[in-house]
């Protein structure tokens, strides 16, 4: 029972991804190295800490977010706007209070300086803001009265929820305390904040800013009280401590809460992104390292690169490229092994003939026998020399095709020059040589000398198969983005069973009289050169139209197609 029939009998047909190894269908995962598969099983999100590229992805994403939030907090446009608004509001409140005092003094009449009782009467109906303190000074700077607004109401629960800001402030206070001198702050005095403004407020409104006992911002405003256009007193107001700081703290708390949420989302996305990048790259690197270590210990198993071709990104392209490189490398290794086996086989034939001829020469008595044996020896030596030369050329061909620089050349001119030279060889044998090339040049990009080697080999082969009176025809035509070069002869043609073998190494289908004169590498080398240029080459027999496939051919035809 075949592997496929066995799987169908089990109710599980082979999937499109299964591979046939011998008589068994095997899933691609079964081909993965056990060490690599075991590493995948132990791998998870937490294993990303061992991946440098994963750590960089996470670190850079976090760093960008931290820089963004730090910039928002540092620039702090919200605080600047609140400061301006609070200063303007306090100035307005101070001017209204000064107008109220001025109106109260106007009701008392007289030109004397205001008294404390007058100030108290004027401020009894004043609506002083929560937490605001009012100071009234006479023209000489003496304090006439001091009034305080209603205490500020306790902040709401939403405003009190500043856990992140409070925590950061706590840490900052502890850290800064390590470097402070330990001196205690001077007790806060609101009057000391407004006292410097009295002299400056003789004819204008002035503003000052200080810090309260808890470190919160306190604003002070002083404005003159006029009677008959002359300043007779000064009204100064101080705001409640920390009004702006509480609003800014709440605003920062909201920013930091969004930062924490964004940080968690960014961390999760970074982990996902890192896993989709780092884990496949780790698999590819592990497979390559296994191959490197395996080469050192010359193990028999092959390196198997993970198949990530389904990924539509650079990692998928890298996987496809690495798999292609590994496959090409193993193909080259297999080809070299096969080439070495073919070389050993081909060299053994003339060596066996030489050994037999030398052994017979020792017992030969007649001169004609010795002469014939010497001819056999000479023939085998020439055959070995030709074989070794062709093998040497074939073994160097790959490296030379890579090293040589391709250039643009006129294919028609090359074929014309070759035909003029080879026509003499055909004429010597009595073979008619016909050429048919287009008048316009055909420019192609490639190695002119190597392609010339291909055409020389095809034309000389055609001449060698022809007898006197036969003909060889070489013609070329351009077809869209390709050019076809065809070499035809009227010789015996190619046996049908040999059409698929003529391009194999060391295969030779020659007439009896030409045995041993060719190594069988010419067409194999020609195919290698043509395919290195991105072209194709094939052989076929020439038959009349509608002729029976079993009828004798009219000759052989070799076609070379090259990209233009």
Q: Which residue has the tokens 């911002």?
A: 217
Binning pLDDT at 50, 70 and 90, where does residue 341 land? confident
Q: Which residue would you say has higher pLDDT here, 463 or 184?
A: 463
Q: What is the mean pLDDT of residues 357-367?
A: 82
Q: Which of 187-201, 322-336, 387-401 has the highest mean pLDDT?
A: 322-336
pLDDT of residue 432: 92
- Is the pLDDT at 299 greater than 60, yes or no? no
**Tens digit of each residue's pLDDT (9 = 90 or more) over 111-150:** 455 667 777 777 766 677 777 888 888 877 788 888 887 7
pLDDT of residue 434: 92
If 0-12 CB within 10 Å is exposed, 13-18 middle and 19+ buried, where does residue 458 land? buried
pTM greater than 0.95 (yes/no): no
**Beta-bridge partner residues of 461:** none
- Is the pLDDT at 159 greater than 70, yes or no? no
pLDDT of residue 483: 93
- Is the pLDDT at 206 greater than 60, yes or no? yes
Helix (H, G, I), strand (E, B) or coil at 481: coil
- Is the pLDDT at 18 greater than 60, yes or no? no
Q: What is the mean pLDDT of residues 414-440?
A: 90
**Tens digit of each residue's pLDDT (9 = 90 or more) over 163-179:** 776 777 777 677 766 77
Q: What is the mean pLDDT of residues 362-379?
A: 82
With contact defined as beta carbons under 8 Å apart, do 132 and 149 qualify?
Answer: yes
SS3 content of the chain, % helix, strand, coil (to 5): 55, 15, 30
Q: What is the mean pLDDT of residues 190-195?
A: 79
Residue among 215, 212, 231 at smallest CA distance from 223: 231
Q: Which residue would you say has higher pLDDT here, 342 or 281?
A: 281
| Nearest-angstrom CA–CA distance, 86 and 167 | 27
Q: What is the mean pLDDT of residues 177-206?
A: 71
| Nearest-angstrom CA–CA distance, 457 and 530 | 12
> DSSP label at 23?
T
Q: What is the mean pLDDT of residues 257-262?
A: 84
With contact defined as beta carbons under 8 Å apart, do 111 and 88 qualify?
Answer: no
Helix (H) or strand (E) holding 65: helix 52-75
pLDDT of residue 547: 63
Q: What is the mean pLDDT of residues 321-340?
A: 79
Binning pLDDT at 50, 70 and 90, where does residue 455 land? very high
pLDDT of residue 19: 39
With contact defined as beta carbons under 8 Å apart, do 377 and 410 qualify?
Answer: no
| Nearest-angstrom CA–CA distance, 307 and 326 | 12
Q: Which residue has the tokens 């620089």?
A: 405
Binning pLDDT at 50, 70 and 90, where does residue 256 land? confident
Q: What is the mean pLDDT of residues 62-69?
A: 82
pLDDT of residue 473: 93
- Is the pLDDT at 439 greater than 60, yes or no? yes
Percent of the chain whose predicted confidence (pLDDT) is above 90: 9
Percent of the chain whose predicted confidence (pLDDT) is above 70: 72
- Is the pLDDT at 90 greater than 80, yes or no? yes
Q: What is the mean pLDDT of residues 212-232?
A: 78
- Is the pLDDT at 16 greater than 50, yes or no? no
pLDDT of residue 147: 81
Contacts 24+ apart (CB under 8 A), 391-396: 391/343, 391/519, 391/521, 393/521, 393/525, 394/339, 394/505, 394/521, 394/524, 394/525, 394/528, 395/339
Helix (H, G, I), strand (E, B) or coil at 149: coil
pLDDT of residue 364: 80
Q: Which residue would you say has higher pLDDT here, 352 or 117?
A: 352
C-alpha gyration radius of the chain: 50
Binning pLDDT at 50, 70 and 90, where does residue 413 land? very high
With contact defined as beta carbons under 8 Å apart, do 384 and 350 qualify?
Answer: yes
Instruction: Calculate the alpha carbon distances from 124 to 6, 132, 149, 340 in Å.
Output: 106, 15, 11, 116
Q: Which residue would you say has higher pLDDT here, 255 or 40?
A: 255
Helix (H, G, I), strand (E, B) or coil at 464: helix
Q: Which residue has the tokens 């070379």?
A: 560
Averaged pLDDT of the chain: 75
Helix (H) or strand (E) holding 512: none
- Is the pLDDT at 34 greater than 60, yes or no? no
- Is the pLDDT at 484 greater than 90, yes or no? yes
Q: Which residue has the tokens 């929820």?
A: 161
With contact defined as beta carbons under 8 Å apart, do 313 and 346 qualify?
Answer: no
- Is the pLDDT at 11 greater than 60, yes or no? no
Q: Which residue would you say has higher pLDDT here, 142 or 80?
A: 142
With contact defined as beta carbons under 8 Å apart, do 239 and 232 qualify?
Answer: no
Domains located in the chain, CATH noted: 1-30 (no CATH), 76-151+158-175+187-241 (3.30.450.20), 311-403 (1.10.287.130), 405-564 (3.30.565.10)
Q: Which residue would you say has higher pLDDT here, 294 or 210?
A: 210
- Is the pLDDT at 389 greater than 70, yes or no? yes
């Amino acid at each position: 029972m075949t592997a496929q029939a066995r799987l169908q009998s089990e109710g599980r047909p082979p999937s499109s991804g299964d591979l046939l190894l011998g008589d068994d269908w095997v899933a691609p995962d079964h081909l993965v190295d056990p060490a690599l598969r075991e590493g995948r099983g132990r791998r998870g999100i937490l294993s990303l800490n061992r991946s440098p590229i994963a750590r960089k992805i996470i670190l850079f994403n976090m760093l960008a977010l931290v820089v963004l939030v730090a910039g928002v907090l540092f620039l702090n446009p919200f605080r600047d706007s609140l400061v301006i608004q609070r200063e303007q509001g306090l100035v307005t409140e101070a001017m209204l209070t000064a107008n109220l005092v001025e109106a109260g003094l106007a009701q008392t009449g007289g030109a004397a300086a205001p008294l404390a009782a007058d100030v108290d009467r004027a401020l009894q109906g004043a609506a002083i803001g929560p937490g605001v303190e009012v100071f009234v000074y006479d023209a000489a700077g003496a304090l006439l009265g001091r009034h305080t607004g209603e205490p500020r109401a306790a902040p709401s629960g939403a405003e009190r929820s500043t856990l992140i800001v409070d925590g950061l402030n706590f840490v900052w206070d502890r850290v800064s305390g390590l470097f402070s001198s330990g001196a205690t702050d001077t007790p806060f005095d609101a009057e000391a904040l407004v006292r410097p403004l009295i002299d400056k407020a003789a004819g204008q409104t002035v503003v000052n800013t200080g810090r309260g006992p808890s470190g919160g911002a306190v604003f002070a405003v002083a404005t003159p009280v006029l009677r008959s256009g002359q300043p007779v007193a000064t009204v100064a107001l101080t705001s409640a401590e920390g009004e702006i700081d509480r609003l800014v703290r709440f605003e920062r708390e909201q920013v930091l809460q969004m930062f924490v949420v964004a940080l968690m989302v960014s961390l999760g996305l970074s982990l996902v992104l890192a896993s989709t990048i780092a884990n496949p790259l780790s698999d590819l690197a592990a497979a390559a390292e296994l191959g490197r270590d395996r080469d050192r210990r010359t193990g028999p198993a092959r390196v198997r690169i993970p198949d990530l071709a389904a990924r539509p990104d650079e990692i998928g392209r890298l996987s496809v490229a690495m798999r292609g490189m590994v496959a090409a490398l193993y193909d080259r290794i297999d080809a070299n092994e096969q080439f070495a086996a073919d070389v050993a086989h081909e060299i053994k034939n003339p060596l066996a003939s030489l050994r037999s001829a030398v052994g017979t020469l020792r017992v030969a008595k007649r001169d004609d026998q010795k002469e014939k044996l010497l001819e056999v020896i000479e023939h085998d030596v020439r055959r070995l020399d030709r074989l070794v030369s062709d093998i040497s050329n074939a073994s160097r061909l790959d490296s030379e095709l890579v090293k040589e620089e391709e250039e643009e050349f006129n294919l028609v001119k090359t074929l014309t020059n070759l035909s003029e030279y080879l026509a003499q060889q055909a004429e010597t044998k009595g073979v008619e040589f016909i050429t048919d090339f287009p008048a316009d040049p055909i420019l192609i990009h490639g190695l002119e000398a190597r392609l010339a080697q291909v055409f020389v080999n095809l034309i000389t082969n055609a001449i060698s198969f022809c007898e006197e009176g036969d003909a060889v025809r070489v013609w070329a035509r351009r077809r869209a983005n390709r050019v076809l070069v065809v070499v035809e002869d009227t010789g015996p043609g190619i046996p049908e069973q040999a059409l698929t073998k003529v391009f194999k190494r060391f295969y030779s289908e020659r007439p009896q009289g030409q045995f041993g004169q060719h190594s069988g590498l010419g067409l194999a080398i020609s195919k290698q050169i043509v395919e290195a240029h991105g072209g194709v080459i094939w052989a076929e027999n020439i038959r009349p139209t509608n002729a029976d496939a079993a009828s004798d051919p009219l000759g052989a035809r070799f076609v070379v197609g090259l990209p233009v």
